[in-house]
């Protein structure tokens, strides 16, 4: 999908301000995601954590399923998996019925890392959100839930390359 030089929708001054607020919120939330990686340690990258999160959801699956889930090519998944196998976060295996099928699953170290990342994020978001008035916090959460419904669960499913967590 090409990035248009100007959007098809006319923007009022208030909409321009709203868009800027969402741009800022996007940057803030990406910052929380990246800081969670630093806090968890182990020197894993954002694309690697995306793979670990996918494996946490999927369990032991063929690498082709991971590639589809992440919107990556097979060679990209192989490179990510190679690094995560070397670091002890992923276990590579084979399908007993199809020996040519490579499977991937989290190791106990990978599960522990994902647990640390998610716990840190939860604590950090709680710390940040505690600074908001409860009514504003509830309205913001409700607005974000509606935004997610509008965007849709599969919005980034057909993208190629690493998509943020």
Residue 160 pLDDT exceeds 80:
no
Contact 104, 60 (CB under 8 A): yes
Task: Convert the pLDDT of each residue in 39-88 to its tens digit.
Answer: 777 788 888 998 999 999 999 999 999 999 888 899 999 999 999 999 99
CA distance 165 to 143: 20
pLDDT score of 29: 93
Q: State the burial class of residue 39 (Cβ atoms within 10 Å of its Cβ: 0-12, 13-18, 19+).
A: middle
CA distance 17 to 156: 25
CA distance 68 to 48: 15
Structure tokens at 4: 């248009």
Name which residue leads in pLDDT, 52 or 162. Answer: 52
Contact 95, 46 (CB under 8 A): no
| Entry field: residues in the chain | 165
pLDDT band at 161 (very low <50, low <70, confident <90, very high): very low
Range scoring the smallest mean pLDDT among 26-30, 103-107, 154-158: 154-158
pLDDT score of 44: 86
- For the domain made up of 36-151, give the CATH fold: Arc Repressor Mutant, subunit A (1.10.10)
Residue 3 pLDDT exceeds 60:
no
For residue 105, what are the β-bridge partners?
91
Task: Convert the pLDDT of each residue in 94-144 to its tens digit.
Answer: 888 888 889 999 999 999 999 999 999 999 999 999 999 999 999 999 999
pLDDT score of 126: 97
Contact 90, 110 (CB under 8 A): yes
């Amino acid at each position: 999908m090409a990035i248009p030089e100007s959007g098809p929708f006319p923007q009022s001054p208030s909409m321009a301000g709203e868009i800027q607020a969402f741009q800022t919120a996007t940057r803030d939330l990406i910052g929380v995601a990246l800081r969670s990686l630093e806090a968890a340690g182990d020197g894993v990258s954002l694309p690697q954590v995306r793979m670990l999160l996918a494996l946490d959801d999927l369990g032991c699956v063929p690498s082709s399923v991971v590639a589809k889930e992440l919107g990556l090519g097979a060679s990209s998944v192989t490179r990510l998996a190679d690094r995560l196998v070397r670091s002890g976060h992923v276990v590579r295996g084979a399908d007993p019925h199809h020996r040519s099928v490579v499977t991937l699953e989290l190791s106990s170290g990978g599960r522990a890392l994902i647990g640390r990342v998610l716990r840190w994020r939860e604590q950090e978001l709680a710390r940040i959100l505690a600074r908001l008035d409860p009514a504003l916090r509830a309205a913001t959460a409700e607005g974000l839930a509606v935004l997610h419904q509008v965007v849709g669960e599969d919005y980034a499913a057909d993208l190629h390359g690493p998509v943020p967590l």
